[in-house]
Chains A and B, each alone.
Chain A
Amino acid sequence: MRILLIIAVLIVLPLSAVRAADDVIAVDLAVDHVDITTGFTGSYLSLFGVQDEPGDIAITIKGPAREMVVRRKENVFGIWMNRTNMVFESVPAFYDYALSTDEAKIGPDALRREYTIGVETLKFRPRDEGEDAALVQEFQNALIRNEQAQGLFPTEPEPITYIDDKFFRTTIYIPSNVPTGLYTIETYLIRGGRVVDMRETEVKVAQVGKSAAINSFSKSWSFIYGLMCVAFAMGVGWFSNALRRKLS
């Protein structure tokens, strides 16, 4: 397995990652797209990299930005209903990160915040100005908690494993409930509390095949799509009635 991986890295890296002389790290994905088919139940994304200099590696992956509404239920005369809400701008639809060392050792807090390494470093801006800071914090924490519950945000970092002292790899799980779009992967080489080098890679998550065909048809030909759904339902209904009469 180990040998195979090294071979894979050796073949994949020189082919796709064009490296300038001063590049310290190079990374590449085993597959640069996630295909969602009818049988899609999630997918593993493998990232390989090589570092020419010592240092720790941190990798972050972010899905397309979305506007999220966070609502808080309150008890009104004994009934629980949504009362307060807050809209956050550009919340990544998916976030995960991988570290080659402990979270505490990777770098100072300021650096981790700057490069958003770790769930607690994520900061979302409320759409409306002048919201109470404590309330914003409470709603933001709730948003992260909800995303974690859906598997869209991690609860702890993924490990980065070294094949030898230069080659590293990590695996990130993309669950089935992720939205489609372009996902950005950032790889950082961190040494002495500074980012020495970084690389950006992209992964396209898209529906393909029958699933994609149904989705795009339902959007561009929504009237015909609706008619077909109704016609199909009536057809099956008629068929089942005919069958019942045959049998009885």
Chain B
Amino acid sequence: MQVYLPIAEMAISAESIFMVSAFVGFLSGLFGIGGGFLTTPFLIFTGVPPAIAVGTQPCQIVANGTSGVLGHLRKGHVDFKMGGFMLMGSTAGSVIGISIFKLLQYLGQIDFVISVLYVVLLSSIGTLMLAESAFSMFFKKKNMRSEFNTNKISNFKAALPFKTRFSRSNLYISAVLPVGVGFIGGILASILGIGGGFLLVPAMIYIIGMPTLVVAGTSLFQIIFTTSISTMLHAVTNNTVDALLAAILIAGGVIGAQVGVLFTGKIRPLHARIMLALLIIIVSIQLSGNLFIAPEEIFSTVVRGGH
């Protein structure tokens, strides 16, 4: 069924958008990721203007995140203080990120920067995850975190000011760390139109050193606010939030996530991590084609001052 999007000013196939968001929702239920990094490139691929895709996607992550965080909240797996500090950084980061987005759009380099960021981030994170999973599979060890945590980074971390106690995470660390991680996450999230969970989760584990148990809930808690702010900023400054597109994405995502959660108990966590790592690597290889393969049409056109 073709549906006309009032803000994007184009008709799209509602089923295909719904199917993709349901599939991504399934993965997000299964792996506990937001999945923005999969949906946004797909939307752009189907012809939705990048600005609309990046502006609307955060709205869908708000729905996914709310649904997820409530579950973690009930189990007490959210570190509000840590989340609050991250939020300070990510709010500032979002505002700056949206300005960068507008500047890059004006310069005509937004697609290029989005592709480069995706390829660099996804390929490095995918490779790291795969390496870690393979390592723990072959050596039958739980993980590499214990060794990773106690190396040189901790010396640098110890030297940072504003030491704060985070009782939920059982940490006494500098507040600069969560604010900094949130800030970088906020910039990337608003440029890429994603929640940034796939960046925040490793950063919270490896850089901040949070216990795995509270990482997912805390990152989701923080992501809800970042993406809400991002939705508001895109709606007010760029008018690029398409309510109808958001509704289709939310509907698909919510239904898919329910199915995904049902499968979580049936797959071993290690296998799930390997699958997710492979998926991330495949997406990054796919996207790197945009950069390295000579395009059939080297010219592109956009409306000046339009979306």
User: Can you report 11 residue pairs joining A to B where beta carbons are below 8 Å apart?
Assistant: A40-B4, A68-B301, A71-B299, A72-B299, A81-B109, A81-B291, A145-B297, A176-B11, A226-B234, A236-B250, A244-B258
Whether, in the assembled complex, A155 has its beta carbon less than 8 Å from a beta carbon of chain B, the answer is no
**Interface window among A45-53, A185-193, A216-224:** A216-224
Tell me the B246-268 residues at the A interface (CB within 8 Å).
246-247, 250-251, 254, 257-258, 261
Verify if A163 is at the interface (C-beta below 8 Å from B): no
Q: A229 to B6, Cβ gap below 8 A? A: no
Q: How far, in angstroms, from A210 to B251 measured CA to CA in the complex? A: 19
Interface size on A, as a range, is 35 or more
Nearest Cβ on chain B to A15's Cβ, whole angstroms:
31
| CB pair B112 A230 closer than 8 Å | no
A-contacting residues, B225-251, CB 8 Å: 228, 231-232, 234-236, 239, 241, 243-244, 246-247, 250-251
Contacts of B68 in A (CB 8 A): 237, 241
Contact partners of B293 in chain A: CB under 8 A? 80
Of A72, A146, A229, A236, which one neighbours B243 at CB under 8 angstroms?
A: A229
Instruction: Judge if A121 is at the interface, Cβ distance under 8 Å.
Output: no
Stretch in A19-27, A31-39, A109-117, A195-203 touching the partner: A31-39
CB pair B304–A215 under 8 Å, yes or no, is no
Task: Please give me the residue from chain A that is nearest to B11 by CB atom.
Answer: A176
Q: Does the CB pair A229–B59 fall under 8 Å? A: yes
Q: Which of B95-125 contact A (CB under 8 A)?
A: 108-109, 111-112
Which residues in B have their C-beta under 8 angstroms from that of A122?
A: none
Q: Which residues of chain B have C-beta atoms less than 8 A from A134's C-beta?
A: none
Q: Which residues of B contact A243 (CB under 8 A)?
A: 258
- Contact (Cβ within 8 A) A241 B9: no
Which chain B residues (1-56) contact chain A, with CB distance < 8 Å? 2-4, 6-7, 9-11
A130 to B305 Cα, complex, angstroms: 23
Flag if B2 contacts A39 (CB, 8 Å): yes
Are the CB atoms of A67 and B305 closer together than 8 Å?
Answer: yes
A66 adjacent to chain B (CB < 8 Å): yes
Residues A69-127 near B (CB distance < 8 A): 69-75, 78-82, 85, 87, 93
**Complex contact B301–A71 (CB within 8 A):** yes
The yes or no answer to A5 lying at the interface (CB within 8 A) is no
Listed in ascending order, the chain B residues whose CB lies under 8 Å from chain A are 2-4, 6-7, 9-11, 59-60, 62-68, 70-71, 108-109, 111-112, 224, 228, 231-232, 234-236, 239, 241, 243-244, 246-247, 250-251, 254, 257-258, 261, 290-295, 297-306
* Residues in B whose Cβ lies below 8 Å from that of A66: 303-304, 306
Contact between A237 and B65 (Cβ–Cβ < 8 Å)? yes
Is the CB–CB distance between A80 and B294 below 8 Å?
yes
Q: Among the listed B60, B112, B292, B304, which residue makes an inter-chain contact with A82, where contact means beta carbons less than 8 Å apart? A: B112
Q: A residues within 8 A CB of B7?
A: 214-215, 218
A63 to chain B, nearest CB (A): 12
In the complex, A183 has a CB within 8 A of chain B: no
Q: How far apart are the CA atoms of A74 and B241 in the complex, in Å?
A: 32
In contact, A176 and B300 (Cβ under 8 angstroms): no
For B234, the chain A residues whose CB sits under 8 A away are: 226
Q: Does A147 contact B (CB under 8 A)?
A: yes
User: In whole angstroms, how far apart are the Cα atoms of A70 and B244 in the complex?
Assistant: 30
- Report chain A residues within 8 Å CB of B297: 142, 145-146, 149
CB neighbours (8 Å) of B232 from chain A are 223, 226-227, 230
CA distance A232 to B149 in the complex (A): 40
Q: Which of A74, A78, A233 contacts B62 (CB 8 A)?
A: A233
Asked if residues A236 and B63 are in contact (CB atoms below 8 Å), the reply is yes
Does the CB pair B10–A176 fall under 8 Å? yes
Q: Is A168 located at the chain interface by the 8 A CB criterion?
A: no
**Distance from B286 Cβ to chain A, minimum over Cβ atoms (Å):** 15
**A211 interface residue per 8 A CB criterion:** yes
